[in-house]
Amino acid sequence: MFRKSLLVFIAIALLAACSPSITASPTLPVAASPLPPVSASPAPIILTDGLGRMVTLAAPAQRVVSLTPATTEILFAVGAGSQVIGRDMFSDYPAEAQSVSDIGGSWGEYNLEAILALQPDLILAGGINPPELVASLEGLGLTVYFMPNPATLDELYTNLETVGSLTGHEAEADALVESLRARVAAVDEKLLPLSYAPTVYYELDATNPTKPFTAGPGTFVDLLIARAGGINIGSALSGQWAEISLEELVVQNPAIIILGDSAYGETPEKVAARPGWEALAAVQNGRIFPFDDNLVSRPGPRLVDGLEALAKLLHPDLFK
């Protein structure tokens, strides 16, 4: 009997040694009380504009008024078209822009009362707007960002990225810039082996055909003609809006005439009929081309469209 009790005792002791202790209650972790969510305010957007002014937005602009056709085109191109609530009277591209409220702009006269009534959180001005207009709008308590005119395609890309930042469309702007760079690179690649660059006369206004106006040095026209594999005869003149005499045209004898004023009724037939113009090689060879001046006069993403169109006119064999 004693032996049996001893064996039971030993068995119980062994079980106790191999089992977790039950004499002390385990300490369970105490669940932390959930903290109230922290509302993180977005960082303000602070950029220096083309007038050297520091412009601050608390958040990406949602109600934008555009004062130039170029800034309107940029806004739509980066995906901010639905945020545009007002545009100048000349903004006609893309087609959707024409349904946006017209705030004037003819001869630089904008309807400030209409702009105020729209309650914009950003006004996007461009290179054609004088600093005095920016000051007037700021005096009304409005936030204005002045977009500088680009002198190069790289500066154009910077403007696109800037508008993307101002409106909350950074990703779209980056994708647009990448696609534009690729298109320009494709033009450059095709033109690389060329050893010939035709001379080009780009017409802006021939109201007086003996002293027409052409695009001078430093203009987008000058930049893009050179990039498209041509030589702008206006590049040697003084001033961006340059007058050239018929005598100088005959001396320069351009191989190609491009009519940036075709929207105003100028045609190859009218050019050929001008007294004295029959001496020009471009007239004799029938190389006079109407052209959409908006592609090269508005410093927006369609400058690349203009480059491609010019390259096809100057070197049609390479761009079939």
Mean pLDDT over 245-269 rounds to 97
Residue 155 has pLDDT above 60, yes or no: yes
With residue 288 as reference, give the H or E element that holds it.
Answer: strand 288-290
- Spacing of C-alpha 118 from chain mean position: 24
**Token pair for residue 110?**
């904008």
Q: Say what the pLDDT of residue 318 is.
A: 93
Q: Say what the pLDDT of residue 12 is.
A: 34
Q: Say what the pLDDT of residue 20 is.
A: 38
Q: Which residues contact 85 (CB under 8 A, 6 or more apart)?
A: 63, 64, 65, 100, 101, 118, 120
Residue 55 has pLDDT above 70, yes or no: yes
- pLDDT category of residue 180 using cuts at 50, 70 and 90: very high
Please give the model's pTM, rounded to 2 decimal places: 0.85
Q: Say what the pLDDT of residue 37 is.
A: 57
Q: Say what the pLDDT of residue 36 is.
A: 54
Q: Which fold does the domain 46-187 belong to in CATH?
A: Rossmann fold (3.40.50)
Q: Say what the pLDDT of residue 22 is.
A: 33
Mean pLDDT over 12-25 rounds to 36
- pLDDT category of residue 3 using cuts at 50, 70 and 90: very low
94 preceded by a cis bond (ω within 30 of 0)? yes
Q: Are 307 and 224 in contact (CB under 8 A)?
A: yes
The sign of the dihedral angle between the CA atoms of 59, 65, 69, 75 is: positive
Domain with CATH 3.40.50.1980 in the chain: 46-187, 195-318
CA angle 281, 287, 290 (to 5 degrees): 130
Residue 24 has pLDDT above 80, yes or no: no
Q: Say what the pLDDT of residue 268 is.
A: 98
- Spacing of C-alpha 116 from chain mean position: 25
Q: Under CATH, which number does the domain 195-318 receive? A: 3.40.50.1980
Helices (H), ranges, the chain:
2-18, 69-77, 112-118, 131-139, 153-167, 170-191, 220-227, 246-252, 268-272, 281-284, 294-297, 303-314
- pLDDT category of residue 38 using cuts at 50, 70 and 90: low
Q: pLDDT tens digits for 62-82?
A: 999 999 999 999 999 999 999
**Token pair for residue 33?**
């009380």
Residue 258 has pLDDT above 80, yes or no: yes
Average pLDDT value for the chain: 89
Q: Say what the pLDDT of residue 23 is.
A: 38
